Chains A and B, each alone.
Chain A
Amino acid sequence: MRYKFFSLNELLEFSSKSQIKKLVKTFKCQKNADLELFLHQKAIIFEKKGRSRTYLYIDTKAKKIIAYFTISISSLNIENFSTKTISYLYGQNNVNSKCLPCYLIGQLGKSDNCNLKIGNQLLKKSISIIIKGHNILNGRFILLDSLNNDKIIKFYQNNGFIPIENVKKEKEVIKMIYWLL
């Protein structure tokens, strides 16, 4: 099979860091410079520091990364939320904490040279991996940053995500939620 999924962690374990650095540089995305910047400069460091996990979709024939996503465990600040909202997010409203745990899809996208329609597959894969963790550890929701663009927001909405920031505002990014309930 020409296109394969790999975890960055797996690649770092069985290849040299310099090889992987060369590999990540094959990912190009001018439409979303941050997607490229994160993979080129942060993904390996974050992987090694235990901050996030990155999964790569690789064209093994061209030896290029054509898409990737990064997931992590994060926490949501609930200091300004009503008790009702806290109970929805946590299952009870008497929380002795300023934050609640959540899963995060931090980055997700494909490269400029990828013509395959793999958005759904990529998102499905990222949720499947989180659900593996959810089956072991539990948890109530996933958060995701979507570019504030109608087409992209619609894509996530069609796949179970709901915006939790006002999409009409002049914001670069909108947070969205996916309930694991």
Chain B
Amino acid sequence: MKKKESIMTQTIENPTITLPQEADTLIKKAFQKRKKVKKLVTLKPKNNKKLDWLNEI
């Protein structure tokens, strides 16, 4: 018997993700608290020695 695909597989299969109307409000809230949540991976390095020359401008 063929197993039923779940929403997760469907999300990868479909080129577009559609969210329910409630997401509109929840995305706004999520955006507002984006800086308060702990990030797992640092997005930007703290310093970049390659750019030391810029300080001399």
Contacts and interface: CB of A to CB of B under 8 A. Distances in A.
Given A102-B17, A124-B40, A51 B23 contact: no
Contacts of B40: 120, 123-124, 127, 159-160
A33 B3 contact: yes
B12 A37 contact: no
B24 A82 contact: yes
Interface residues of B, number: 33
Contacts of B6: 33-34, 172-173
Contacts of B33: 162
Contacts of B39: 160
A164 B8 CA distance: 16
Nearest to B7: A173
B8 A38 contact: yes
Interface of A: 33-35, 37-38, 42, 46, 51-52, 70, 72, 74-77, 80-82, 84-85, 88-89, 99, 102, 104, 106-107, 120, 123-124, 127-128, 131, 134, 143, 145, 157-166, 172-173, 175, 177, 179-181
